[in-house]
């Protein structure tokens, strides 16, 4: 029986359908979770999809944090539940303090919709274990105006030390991008960080869109491995296994 | 012109004395009161009434295979089989964008999206066709920046991918930019919903944003009077778009339709509540009684006329059976949308406006819409027809541009890097082109392709408008626009299903401008008939004039096609080294209206290349069949910049050079840079060449083998009679061989636009 | 030359729709906050001007505000001296 | 119950990237404006609160500002009473 994976639907979510579709392709039973709902309907993992949760005019992700479903998600995350935030979902997780850091406006102050390459820093996590290799460039789209990852230096150092940097922007050849490398790191993220883990290793956020790169007809299926990792980990968790990343403190 | 104070109200509202008389007739001889007059003024504006263009539009071919809804509805709808249908429509937001580029463009996107989901279709794509003046000009740069941010700011937030469009710079748009937006939606045919108000006793429900003073007079004044920048009287209170509200509106509307809760649905655009109520009532032969105080307001003490004609964005009007009102209310409230019963359907055929039991206005619904005034305008061709490109383009070679006689390689580099031909990446990178996870081909390389989940099918779409040729010959310009838009769809292997169009022209009361419009519509109709595609809808934008003059006539054509097997899709990029390059079709003389002419100026003897519609149809039928048979590796049509630029694009996009020899009967400039239509650059695996040639013969289409793909340079040799002597005789001294490194082409193409706009930093 | 610190407060004109303000109002329930209304969201730009005297400085800020910081069609602005003179 | 009108000024914390401020500085040349520096771009939110007294009102604004209007990681805020008491 396929594992149930939830996708939160805020009124302004616009990648919810894409994400449900990608989960379906990955063999999960996709479950839409309405933002007003205070429960998670017994799902084994939750994805916060891309979009503009409540319009996000003020600051991306800020209002969503106060929604009933986010209280449930926070509680779920607290006892080790798997949560993945994609794009706006990442912004919501950061605003809610479920992952470290903040997402500032892209350096050049323009919305950016284009392909980038990211590479996983580690494969021993519920979100990356099905990927072929660490450091291998994965091509997928970004589509955001506020994706510049920011945290103060001490926080960044701690993230590196604790191996909480999950994805970085890299060149097509796989070299880590610099902070001013417009081409490989277009939003100017500090230390080229494209995705992070929480301290427990069970909550992750990333700016690029793996769900839009999960079928070759769409130009890349490099994102499928991330979705599949989550689905497998959810199945494992549902079967009573603990889904926390090995090595994360 | 008399001072405003003493000018009678109807004139201040943009109505002529004749029109006032016509209103008297519609009201059985009675004087309209001010509220009624305001309602007429909006509904009889050019924008809402099509009073100048209606007689012309009637001549367009609208019947075709699978047409489910055509002109007259909010959007055209064509069946795709499997119970699916596609809805599509293009609309202009030129004047609002000239006033406030960000909000003008944003609300333009919002408006056309509403036309799509009003029909019961979920929007799946947006294409934006933009036209501006000199890219080096500070004000133009301000407009481009604002319009592009506005299109993205709205489309990205509602989550509809912007997958294509156009960006054209032409001096004639300096004072009057064009912002045309096309939207495409998918629907289950059984969900098709029409904008009618049947069933007296049914409730009229308004949902979405509250009503404020936005765009009061926008439709009647802004859209139907020449726009001059600093005339505060003609400046509307700017409409601000709220894409989040639109997102809620989409979801709520589609849920209402899905659950069969509405009898009819109409978006609110120009003319606001007046337009929505009169159009829906007229279509159903009913009337509507509006209860003014029931309309949720955003601002205190609004005048009745302000409420009735307000263009506040993100509002919808539903016709609902009383027993379903509670369910409708629940849906809207769940989506966080204000909703109210603002009136009821009546059987008297009138639109009435009531406030606590007193009747403020009573007007026959038909008199505001189907029976609105129609003007038979006078059209006259200009005395001497200009045989030159669009106004403002140099008639003789100008120093900052490549001159005739320049080395053709240098000319090619300038063309490839010119504002109209260089990569548009800097613009479309600001759009989300992949949300929805259906985008197979996004902006950048020809027509857009969107797969249809759960099928092997894909929608293919393109917009094209040829203002340069239209400025010289509006009939030819419109026909060529249709030819190019359909060709762009055909070369992917898809079958063009239908055409939507946005007619951007000047002041119809000027005989030359009206002649341009009528010639444009004639060319549009003839081309659509010859190519077998119905016109399913569109939009007319007139009075596109600034103190500097009129725009070049701009018939913007949107085409939607169907690809039965998305895996058979063919793209423009050279696919493999060693493939044979074949030119389908033959060049005809004439450089007028070409990008080359715009840069180098036109010589006296230049005319327009000719378009043979039968040949165009044959070429498109041939390429579709060749692709269907799997004979074609890549296909790109010859358009802006001519054969040389087409080859350069295929090469750059494929990351491979090419060496070709072009048999030349005419001037090298014509052979290399001429833009005569009905030509396609095709690449084929060598062993398929004979089959392709045979198929071409069967279709009566000439084909010529030019050379092969490979290397890191583009080499074009001209051979034959026109190659040497002929060119000098013709006054052209373009030399006969062109040899450019791909790196140089790439550099020119990549950076041309950002350099022109001063965006590079 | 002295330095003057100013703030330019840019707010949507009355009557102009303010989606940001509406979004904030819409979130008040979730926060369990009551009695808040008429929220308008604008920009605040703080800057330092070198000039001979405050009048000269204001002239500069005035120009910056009207030509760059505010869109006269939909926004109004107010200039505020926030001291920090050095 | 009385109505109090407040403004909440939200500005990027010192040291936080402020690309908008840099963009404004970058366009000063085009405008031929000189002597302007240290531009910071933030938000200004104006709102009306119904409360028994100003202290009670401030408590509400304080909460709104700290929980919603500003992100403590990157922004600081200041609350300003702008009268318009009715
Ligand atoms: N150039 C045109 N060709 C064919 N149909 C047109 C054209 N211009 C407008 N129409 C049709 O007239 C109707 C009214 O146009 P419009 O006012 O733009 O629609 P809406 O009010 O939904 O925006 C629409 O159905 C539109 O398709
Ligand atoms: Mg409509």
The three-state (H, E, C) secondary structure of C24-75, written as one string: HHHHHHHHCCCCEEEEEEEEEEEEEEEECCHHHHHHHHHHHHHHHHCCCCCE
B516 and B470 in contact (C-beta within 8 Å)? yes
pLDDT digits (tens, 9 = 90+) for B615-673: 999 999 999 999 999 999 999 999 999 999 999 999 999 999 999 999 877 778 888 99
Ligand 1 touching residue B310 (CB < 6 A)? no
pLDDT recorded at residue B401: 34
Per the CB < 8 Å rule, is A143 touching B242? no
Residue A148 distance to chain B (closest CA, Å): 16
Distance from C-alpha of B621 to C-alpha of A14, rounded to nearest angstrom: 38
Distance from C-alpha of B416 to C-alpha of B422, rounded to nearest angstrom: 5
- Of A85, A94, A125, which Cα lies nearest the Cα of A236? A125
Phi, psi of B547 (to 5 degrees): -50, -30
pLDDT digits (tens, 9 = 90+) for B93-129: 999 999 999 999 999 999 999 999 999 999 999 999 9
In total, chain C counts a number of residues equal to 86
pLDDT band at B405; cut points 50, 70, 90: low
B52 and B542 in contact (C-beta within 8 Å)? yes
Q: What is the rounded average pLDDT for all residues in chain B?
A: 90
pLDDT band at B603; cut points 50, 70, 90: low
Grouping H, G, I as helix, E, B as strand and the rest as coil, residue B672 is helix
B657 and B713 in contact (C-beta within 8 Å)? yes
Residue of C nearest to A57 (CA): C20
pLDDT band at B539; cut points 50, 70, 90: very high
Ligand 1 touching residue B561 (CB < 6 A)? no
A210 and A227 in contact (C-beta within 8 Å)? yes
**Which member of A21, A160, A211, A236 is catalytic?**
A211
E strands, B170-258, in order: 178-188, 203-208
Ligand 1 atom nearest residue B267's Cα: 22
Average pLDDT of the segment spanning B678-684: 98
| Span of A85-89, B11-15, B433-437, B581-585 with lowest mean pLDDT | B11-15
B613 and B526 in contact (C-beta within 8 Å)? yes
pLDDT recorded at residue B730: 44
Residue nearest to atom 4 of ligand 1 (CA): B537
Nearest by CB: B240 against C16, C23, C26: C16
pLDDT band at B10; cut points 50, 70, 90: confident
pLDDT digits (tens, 9 = 90+) for B262-303: 999 999 988 999 999 999 999 999 999 999 999 999 888 888
Residue of A nearest to D10 (CA): A58
In sequence order, the 6+-apart residues with CB closer than 8 A to the CB of A161 are: none
Per the CB < 8 Å rule, is B156 touching A15? no
For residue A62, which residues of chain D lie inside 8 Å, CB to CB? 68, 71
pLDDT recorded at residue B215: 77
Q: What is the rounded average pLDDT for all residues in chain C?
A: 91
Q: How far is the CA of B24 from the centre of ligand 2 (A)?
A: 28
Q: Does the pLDDT at position B429 exceed 50?
A: yes
Distance from C-alpha of B129 to C-alpha of B545, rounded to nearest angstrom: 18
Q: Does the pLDDT at position B325 exceed 80?
A: yes
Distance from C-alpha of B119 to C-alpha of B108, rounded to nearest angstrom: 18
Q: Active site includes B699?
A: no
Nearest by CB: B159 against A14, A22, A214: A14
pLDDT digits (tens, 9 = 90+) for A204-221: 999 999 999 999 999 999
pLDDT digits (tens, 9 = 90+) for C49-85: 999 999 999 999 999 999 999 998 889 999 999 975 5
Ligand 1 touching residue B57 (CB < 6 A)? yes
The verdict on A74 touching D (C-beta cutoff 8 Å) is no
Best residue in C11, C14, C17, C68 for a mutation probing chain B (most B CBs within 10 Å): C17
Order of strands, sheet of B713-719, starting from the edge strand that comes earlier in the sequence: B634-637, B680-684, B580-584, B703-709, B658-663, B713-719, B737-741
Phi, psi of C35 (to 5 degrees): 80, 10
pLDDT band at B599; cut points 50, 70, 90: confident
pLDDT recorded at residue B213: 85
In sequence order, the 6+-apart residues with CB closer than 8 A to the CB of C64 are: C8, C47, D24, D28, D31, D33, D36
Q: What are the DSSP calls for D20-36, one per residue?
A: HHHHHHHTHHHHT--SE
pLDDT recorded at residue B385: 61
Order of strands, sheet of D75-81, starting from the edge strand that comes earlier in the sequence: C75-81, C2-12, C36-51, D36-51, D2-12, D75-81
Average pLDDT of the segment spanning D8-15: 92
- Looking at chain A from residue 53 to 72, which residues have their Cβ under 8 Å from any Cβ of chain C? 54-58, 63, 66-68
**What does DSSP assign to residue A225?**
H
Distance from C-alpha of B31 to C-alpha of B17, rounded to nearest angstrom: 13
Per the CB < 8 Å rule, is A102 touching D19? no
Distance from C-alpha of A123 to C-alpha of A142, rounded to nearest angstrom: 22
Q: Active site includes A148?
A: no
Q: How far is the CA of B538 from the centre of ligand 1 (A)?
A: 5
B85 and B187 in contact (C-beta within 8 Å)? yes
Q: How many CA atoms, within 13 angstroms, populate the side-chain half-sphere of residue B354?
A: 13
Give CA angle at B196 (B192, B202), nearest 5°: 110
Ligand 1 touching residue B174 (CB < 6 A)? no
pLDDT digits (tens, 9 = 90+) for B700-715: 999 999 999 999 999 9
B706, B708, B714, B718: CA torsion to nearest 10: -20
pLDDT recorded at residue D85: 55
Distance from C-alpha of B66 to C-alpha of B64, rounded to nearest angstrom: 6
Residue nearest to atom 18 of ligand 1 (CA): B539
Name the one residue in this structure whose structure tokens are 């001519």: B642
Ligand 1 touching residue B432 (CB < 6 A)? no
B648 and B416 in contact (C-beta within 8 Å)? yes
pLDDT recorded at residue B668: 81
pLDDT recorded at residue B391: 43
Average pLDDT of the segment spanning D15-28: 88
**What does DSSP assign to residue A98?**
S
Name the one residue in this structure whose structure tokens are 């009898």: B263
Name the one residue in this structure whose structure tokens are 């996107």: B109
Higher pLDDT, B84 or B387: B84
Distance from C-alpha of B441 to C-alpha of B447, rounded to nearest angstrom: 8
User: For the whole model, what pTM was predicted?
Assistant: 0.93
Average pLDDT of the segment spanning B230-257: 80
* Chains contacting chain B through 3 or more C-beta pairs under 8 A: A, C
Q: Which residues of chain A have pLDDT under 70?
A: 242-249
**Which member of A117, A129, A144, A209 is catalytic?**
A209
Residue of C nearest to A12 (CA): C23
**Which member of A87, A117, A129, A144 is catalytic?**
A87
Q: What are the structure tokens assigned to B493, written together?
A: 């292997």
Ligand 1 touching residue B54 (CB < 6 A)? no
Distance from C-alpha of B327 to C-alpha of B329, rounded to nearest angstrom: 5
Nearest by CB: A62 against D19, D20, D68: D68
- Of B683, B619, B678, which Cα lies nearest the Cα of B651? B683
pLDDT recorded at residue B722: 52
Distance from C-alpha of B121 to C-alpha of B86, rounded to nearest angstrom: 8
Ligand 1 touching residue B73 (CB < 6 A)? yes
pLDDT digits (tens, 9 = 90+) for A7-61: 999 999 999 999 999 999 999 999 999 999 999 999 999 999 999 998 888 888 8
Distance from C-alpha of B308 to C-alpha of B239, rounded to nearest angstrom: 16
pLDDT recorded at residue B14: 87
Distance from C-alpha of B388 to C-alpha of B378, rounded to nearest angstrom: 25
pLDDT recorded at residue B605: 56
Q: Are strands B634-637 and B680-684 parallel, antiparallel or unpaired?
A: antiparallel
pLDDT band at B8; cut points 50, 70, 90: confident
**Which member of B10, B24, B93, B384 is catalytic?**
B93
- Of B470, B607, B594, which Cα lies nearest the Cα of B527? B470
- Of B621, B498, B494, B497, which Cα lies nearest the Cα of B568? B494
Name the one residue in this structure whose structure tokens are 């040729």: B469
**pLDDT over 90 for what percent of chain B?**
80
pLDDT digits (tens, 9 = 90+) for B196-242: 999 999 999 999 999 988 877 543 343 334 334 344 443 347 889 99
């Amino acid at each position: 029986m396929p594992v149930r994976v939830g996708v939160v639907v805020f009124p302004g979510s616009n990648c919810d359908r894409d994400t449900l579709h990608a989960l379906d392709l990955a063999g999960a039973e996709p479950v839409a979770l309405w933002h007003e709902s205070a429960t998670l309907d017994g799902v084994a993992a939750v994805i916060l999809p891309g979009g503009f949760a409540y319009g996000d005019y003020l600051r991306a992700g800020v209002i969503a944090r106060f929604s009933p479903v986010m209280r449930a998600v926070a509680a779920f995350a607290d006892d080790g539940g798997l949560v993945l935030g994609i794009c706006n979902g990442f912004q919501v997780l950061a605003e809610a303090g479920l992952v470290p850091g903040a997402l500032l406006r892209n350096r050049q102050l323009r919305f950016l919709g284009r392909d980038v390459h990211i590479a996983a820093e580690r494969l021993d996590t519920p979100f990356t274990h099905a990927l072929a290799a660490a450091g291998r460039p994965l091509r997928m789209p970004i589509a955001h105006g506020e994706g510049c990852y920011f945290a103060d230096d001490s926080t960044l150092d701690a993230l590196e030390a604790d191996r909480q940097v999950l994805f970085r922007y890299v060149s097509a050849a796989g070299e880590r991008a610099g902070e001013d490398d417009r081409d490989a790191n277009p939003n100017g993220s500090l230390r080229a960080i494209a995705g992070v883990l929480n301290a427990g290793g069970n909550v992750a956020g990333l700016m690029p869109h793996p769900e839009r790169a999960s079928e070759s007809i769409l130009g890349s299926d490099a994102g499928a491995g991330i979705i599949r990792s989550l689905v497998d980990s959810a199945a494992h968790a549902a079967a009573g296994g603990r889904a926390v990343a090995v090595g994360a403190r | 012109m008399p001072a405003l104070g003493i000018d009678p109200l109807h004139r201040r509202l943009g109505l002529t004395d004749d029109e006032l008389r016509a209103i008297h007739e519609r009201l059985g001889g009675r004087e309209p009161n001010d509220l009624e007059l305001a309602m007429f003024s909006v509904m009889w504006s050019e924008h809402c009434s099509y009073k100048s263009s209606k007689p012309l539009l009637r001549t367009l071919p609208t019947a075709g295979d699978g047409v489910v809804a055509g002109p007259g509805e909010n959007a055209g709808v064509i069946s795709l089989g499997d119970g699916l249908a596609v809805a599509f429509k293009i609309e202009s937001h030129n004047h609002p964008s000239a006033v406030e580029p960000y909000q003008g463009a944003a609300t333009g996107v919002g408006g056309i999206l509403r036309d799509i989901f009003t029909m019961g279709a979920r929007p799946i794509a947006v294409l934006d066709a933009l036209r501006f003046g000199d890219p080096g000009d500070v004000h133009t740069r301000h407009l481009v920046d604002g319009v592009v941010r506005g299109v993205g700011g709205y489309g990205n937030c509602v989550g509809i991918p912007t997958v294509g469009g156009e960006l054209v710079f032409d001096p004639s748009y300096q004072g009057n930019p064009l912002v045309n937006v096309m939207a495409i939606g998918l629907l289950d045919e059984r969900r098709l919903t029409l904008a009618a108000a049947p069933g007296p006793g049914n409730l009229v429900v308004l949902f979405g944003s509250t009503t404020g003073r936005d765009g009061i007079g926008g439709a009647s004044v802004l859209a139907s009077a020449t726009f001059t920048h600093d005339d505060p009287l003609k400046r509307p209170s700017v409409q601000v778009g709220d894409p989040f509200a639109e997102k809620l509106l989409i979801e709520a509307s589609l849920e209402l339709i899905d659950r069969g809760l509405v009898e009819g649905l109409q978006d609110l655009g120009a003319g606001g509540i007046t337009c929505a109520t009169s159009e829906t009532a007229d279509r159903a032969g009913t009337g509507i009684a509006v209860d003014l105080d029931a309309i949720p307001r955003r601002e205190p003490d609004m005048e009745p006329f302000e409420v009735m004609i307000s263009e506040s964005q993100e509002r919808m009007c539903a016709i609902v059976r009383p027993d379903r009102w509670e369910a409708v209310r629940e849906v809207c409230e769940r989506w966080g949308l204000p909703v109210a019963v603002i009136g009821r359907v009546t059987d008297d055929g009138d639109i009435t406006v009531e406030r606590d039991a007193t009747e403020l206005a009573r007007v026959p619904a038909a008199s505001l819409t189907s029976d609105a005034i129609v003007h038979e305008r006078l059209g006259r061709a200009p005395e001497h027809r200009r045989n030159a490109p669009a106004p403002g383009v140099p008639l003789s070679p100008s120093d900052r541009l490549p001159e005739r006689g320049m080395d053709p390689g240098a000319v090619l580099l300038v063309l490839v890097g010119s504002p109209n031909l260089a990569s548009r990446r800097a613009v479309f990178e600001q759009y989300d082109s992949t949300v929805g996870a259906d985008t197979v081909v996004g902006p950048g390389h020809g027509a857009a392709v969107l797969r249809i989940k759960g099928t092997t099918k894909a929608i293919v779409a393109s917009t094209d408008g040829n203002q340069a040729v239209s400025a010289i010959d509006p009939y030819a310009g419109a026909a060529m626009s249709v030819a190019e838009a359909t060709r762009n769809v055909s070369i992917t292997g898809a079958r063009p299903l239908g055409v939507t169009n946005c007619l951007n022209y000047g002041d119809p009361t000027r005989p030359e401008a009206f002649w341009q419009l009528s010639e444009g519509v004639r060319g549009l109709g003839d081309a659509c008939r010859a190519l077998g595609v119905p016109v399913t809808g569109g939009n007319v934008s007139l009075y596109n004039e600034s103190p500097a003059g009129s725009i070049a006539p701009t018939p913007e054509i949107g085409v939607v096609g169907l690809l039965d097997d998305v895996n058979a899709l063919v793209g423009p990029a050279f696919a493999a080294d060693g493939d044979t390059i074949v030119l389908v079709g033959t060049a005809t003389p004439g450089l007028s209206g070409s990008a080359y002419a715009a840069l180098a100026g036109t010589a006296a003897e230049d005319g327009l290349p000719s378009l043979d519609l039968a040949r165009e149809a044959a070429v498109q039928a041939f390429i579709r069949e060749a692709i269907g048979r799997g004979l074609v590796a890549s296909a790109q049509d010859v358009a802006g910049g001519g054969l040389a630029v087409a080859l350069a694009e295929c090469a750059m996009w494929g990351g491979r050079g090419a060496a070709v020899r072009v048999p030349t009967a005419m001037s090298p400039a014509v052979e290399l840079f001429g833009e005569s239509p009905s030509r396609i650059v095709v690449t084929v695996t060598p062993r398929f060449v004979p089959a392709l040639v045979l198929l071409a013969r069967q279709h009566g289409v000439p084909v010529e083998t030019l050379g092969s793909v490979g290397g890191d340079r583009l080499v074009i040799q001209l051979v034959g009679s026109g190659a040497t002597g002929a060119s000098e005789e013709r006054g052209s001294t373009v030399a006969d061989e062109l040899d450019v490194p791909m790196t140089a082409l790439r550099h020119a193409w990549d950076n041309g636009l950002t350099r022109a706009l001063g965006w590079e930093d | 030359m002295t330095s003057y610190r100013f703030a330019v407060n840019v707010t949507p004109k009355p009557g102009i729709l303010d989606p940001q303000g509406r979004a904030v109002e819409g979130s008040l329930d979730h926060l369990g906050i009551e009695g808040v209304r008429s929220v308008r969201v604008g920009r605040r730009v703080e800057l330092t001007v070198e000039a001979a005297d405050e009048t000269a400085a204001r002239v500069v800020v005035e120009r910056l505000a009207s030509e760059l910081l505010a869109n006269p069609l939909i926004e109004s602005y107010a200039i505020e001296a926030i001291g920090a003179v050095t």
